[in-house]
């Protein structure tokens, strides 16, 4: 009886820590421990992404510009202030990236096409290079452009496909929607396959500034940097 009473008292005295880390624990179920996703998973890495980007995506799920039933359920009643606190927490995490596999079932021709689009774009179709916006190392740019390296191929292809099919949106000016409409399915597969094979630089961080002028206005960046 004494043991039971002791156990009951211990349970009564137990308190879940009221910290942001504890409150975003639900995110870990899909995105991985502390937001560092496995490279073979569908879900993207959260750790170290620009705070502005993470905040914008959380708001887009809440406000209907992006749709995923689990994400909508988690954020639909949250305030801007709370979503910004979540974004700041994940942006502050400094965790190593998982090793990138160098094995792909994509053909050499497909990978070459993906590399060209990522690094050079296709001026004849008005498609800018990924590096023009996402940084020379493709590790993202502060405050609002995410990294493209260190992401699973399936996630990359699904999100590029969502821009292509007009299923994903951002606040105006919606630059990725404009780019996405110019991509073909083959383009999407090629870029995703090539990006998924790229090694992540040591201690990868978002760049502090763009490598040059943005090829088009984009809501991800402040007006002063467009």
Tokens of 3: 């043991």
pLDDT digits (tens, 9 = 90+) for 142-198: 999 999 999 999 999 999 999 999 999 999 999 999 999 999 999 999 999 999 999
Bond before 173 cis per omega within 30 degrees: yes
* Domain count for the chain: 1
Phi, psi of 24 (to 5 degrees): -100, 15
pLDDT bin (cut points 50, 70, 90) of residue 102 is confident
Predicted TM-score (pTM) of the model is 0.88
pLDDT given at position 13 = 60
- pLDDT of 14 above 90: no
Phi and psi at residue 127, in whole multiples of 5°? -100, 115
Spatial CB neighbours of 46, under 8 Å, sequence gap ≥ 6 = 27, 31, 35, 36, 37, 54, 90, 93
Q: For position 98, what pLDDT does the model report?
A: 81
Q: What is the pLDDT of residue 35?
A: 63
Q: Comparing C-alpha atoms, which of 99, 98, 131, 103 is closest to residue 117?
A: 131
State the pLDDT at residue 108.
97
Mean pLDDT confidence for 72-101: 93
Other Cβ atoms less than 10 A from the Cβ of 212: the count is 10
Alpha carbons within 13 A on the beta-carbon side of 48: 20
Q: With contact defined as beta carbons under 8 Å apart, do 143 and 52 qualify?
A: yes
155 three-state secondary structure: helix
Could you list the residues known to form a binding site, using ranges.
27, 30-31, 71, 130, 133-134, 176
CATH code where residue 218 lies: 1.10.760.10
User: Where do runs of H (alpha helix) occur along 34-148?
Assistant: 51-63, 69-75, 80-92, 108-119, 130-134
CA dist 101 → 28, 189, 194, 200 (Å): 22, 17, 11, 11
Residue-range definition of the domain harbouring residue 163: 2-225
How far, in Å, CA of 162 to CA of 6, rounded?
Answer: 55
- Residues of the binding site for heme c: 27, 30-31, 71, 130, 133-134, 176
Output the average pLDDT for the chain: 90
Minimal CA–CA distance to 147: which of 44, 65, 66, 218?
44
What confidence tier does 103 reach under pLDDT thresholds 50, 70, 90?
confident
- Hey, what are 29's tokens? 């179920």
Cis peptide bond upstream of 36, omega within 30: no
What is the per-residue pLDDT for 208? 93
Residue 186: predicted pLDDT: 97
Q: What is the pLDDT of residue 32?
A: 83
Residue 11 in this model has a pLDDT that exceeds 80: no
């Amino acid at each position: 009886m004494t043991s039971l009473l002791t156990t009951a008292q211990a349970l009564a005295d137990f308190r879940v820590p009221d910290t942001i880390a504890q409150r975003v624990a639900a995110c870990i179920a899909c995105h991985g421990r502390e937001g560092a996703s496995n490279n073979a998973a569908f879900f993207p890495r959260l750790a170290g992404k620009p705070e502005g980007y993470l905040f914008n995506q959380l708001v887009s799920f809440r406000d209907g510009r992006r749709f995923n039933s689990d994400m909508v359920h988690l954020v639909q009643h949250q305030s801007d202030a709370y979503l910004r606190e979540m974004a700041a927490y994940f942006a502050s995490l400094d965790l190593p990236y998982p090793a990138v596999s160098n094995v792909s079932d994509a053909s050499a021709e497909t990978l070459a096409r993906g590399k060209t689009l990522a690094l050079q774009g296709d001026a004849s179709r008005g498609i800018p290079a990924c590096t023009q916006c996402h940084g020379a190392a493709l590790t993202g740019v502060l405050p609002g452009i995410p990294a493209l390296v260190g992401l699973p191929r399936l996630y990359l292809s699904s999100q590029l496909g969502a821009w292509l099919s007009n299923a994903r949106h951002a606040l105006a000016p919606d630059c990725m929607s404009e780019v996405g409409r110019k991509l073909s399915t083959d383009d999407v597969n090629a870029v995703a396959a090539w990006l998924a094979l790229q090694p992540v630089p040591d201690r990868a961080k978002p760049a502090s500034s763009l490598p040059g002028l943005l090829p088009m206005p984009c809501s991800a960046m402040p007006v002063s940097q467009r």
